[in-house]
Amino acid sequence: MEKTLSGKTALVTGAASGIGKATALRLAQAGANVLVAELDAKGAAQTVAEIADAGGTARYLALDLCSGEAIDRCAQEALATPGGIGIVVNVAGWGYSQPFVQNTPDFWDRVMAINLNGPIRLTHRLVGPMFEARSGKVVNVASDAGRVGSLGETVYSAAKGGLIAFTKGLAREAARHGVNVNCVCPGPTDTPLYQAVPEKLRDAFVKAIPLRRIGQPQEVAEAILFFASAQSDYVTGQVLSVSGGLTMAG
Ligand SMILES: NC(=O)c1ccc[n+]([C@@H]2O[C@H](COP(=O)([O-])OP(=O)(O)OC[C@H]3O[C@@H](n4cnc5c(N)ncnc54)[C@H](O)[C@@H]3O)[C@@H](O)[C@H]2O)c1
């Protein structure tokens, strides 16, 4: 396996499970030192152990995207890494399907915190030193829900749409500092989050996906690796759906 990320440190949020875990393992395989930034300490320890078993290096950082203080502490610890942070991947996300009229303000505050405001605060803390180093990659994981909407996920769609727009805005500002910012939008992907989607809806998804199956977390991780590596040095502000063709946004 090519070690295209040797010498880089990558912070990956949500790396205890699903797409975040697959991303942490893939970036480590490509030679990156991985910081597993997570709410779930037990799951994160498992990811760190799997990376170590495969001959890579990784470390756990506590993170709760619903707490500004926790985000700041996580960023401070991350920035103390020798050589600094070269790659930030905002993968952690959360939500479940529910009619908008049944949503409570607590529910949508949590959805907005984990999917949009938390990633904004964490990125804000980490991107300044990247600007100074005149090098870096930020990859945000949004969702096709943020491009085309998703029934029963109204506020989640709003948060992910916000993350897509944040990607584009920051990409314009970061370009002059040598930092690329891009976004990956998974479609239905086989993870614990997806298992919470009602079965009827999951069946409907498979019928609607041109490639006739849901995605695997490793397939999303490959797209993230592309945006995290030098292979995408001339790509910024872009949104890539990894969704079996479910959405074909222009
Ligand atoms: N699985 C899908 O079908 C799908 C589709 C579109 C987009 N996505 C997006 O992909 C990303 C990963 O999703 P997944 O399916 O792998 O989910 P997952 O539930 O398997 O993993 C999400 C991870 O985020 C962590 N997390 C949750 N709340 C957190 C918090 N407050 N602070 C820090 N970490 C927290 C969890 O502990 C978990 O490890 C999310 O942003 C999700 O919205 C997933």
Q: Which domains does the chain have, with CATH numbers?
A: 9-188+219-241 (3.40.50.720)
Is 156 a residue of the active site?
A: yes
Please write the tens of the pLDDT for every residue from 149-179.
Answer: 999 999 999 999 999 999 999 999 999 999 9
Q: Which of 60, 96, 156, 194 is catalytic?
A: 156
Q: Is the CB of 111 under 6 A from ligand 1?
A: no
Closest listed residue to residue 151, CA positions, set 214, 104, 197: 197
Which stretches of 15-153 are DSSP H helices? Answer: 18-29, 41-53, 68-79, 105-112, 118-133, 145-148
Mutate to test the pocket of ligand 1, among 11, 12, 17, 216 (most ligand atoms within 8 A of CB): 17
Question: pTM above the 0.75 mark?
Answer: yes
CB of 226 closer than 8 Å to CB of 232:
yes
Cα-trace Rg, the chain: 17
What's the CA-to-centroid distance between 13 and ligand 1, angstroms?
9
Q: Does the Cβ of 116 fall within 6 Å of ligand 1?
A: no
**Per-residue pLDDT at 200:** 86
Question: Which residue, judged by its Cα, is nearest atom 29 of ligand 1?
Answer: 39
pLDDT tens figures, 37-69: 999 999 999 999 999 999 999 999 999 999 999
Q: Closest by alpha carbon to 174, among 140, 125, 132, 117?
A: 132
Binding site membership of 146 for ligand 1 (Cβ less than 6 Å): no
User: What's the CA-to-centroid distance between 221 and ligand 1, angstroms?
Assistant: 13
Which residue stretches of the chain have pLDDT < 50? none
Q: Is 190 in the pocket of ligand 1 (CB under 6 A)?
A: no
Atom nearest to 217 CA in ligand 1: 16
Regarding the beta carbon of 112 and ligand 1, being less than 6 Å apart is answered no
pLDDT at 4: 94
In DSSP terms, 185 is beta-bridged to: 241
Give the span between the Cα atoms of 216 and 98, in whole angstroms: 24
pLDDT of amino acid 111: 98
Asked if 239 contacts 217 with a C-beta cutoff of 8 angstroms, the reply is no
Please give the pLDDT value at position 210.
Answer: 97
State if residue 66 touches ligand 1 by the CB under 6 angstroms criterion.
yes
Distance 92 CA to ligand 1 centre (A): 4
Q: Return the pLDDT at 148.
A: 94
CA 52, CA 175: separation in Å to the nearest integer? 34
> Pairing mode, if any, of strands 87-90 and 9-13?
parallel
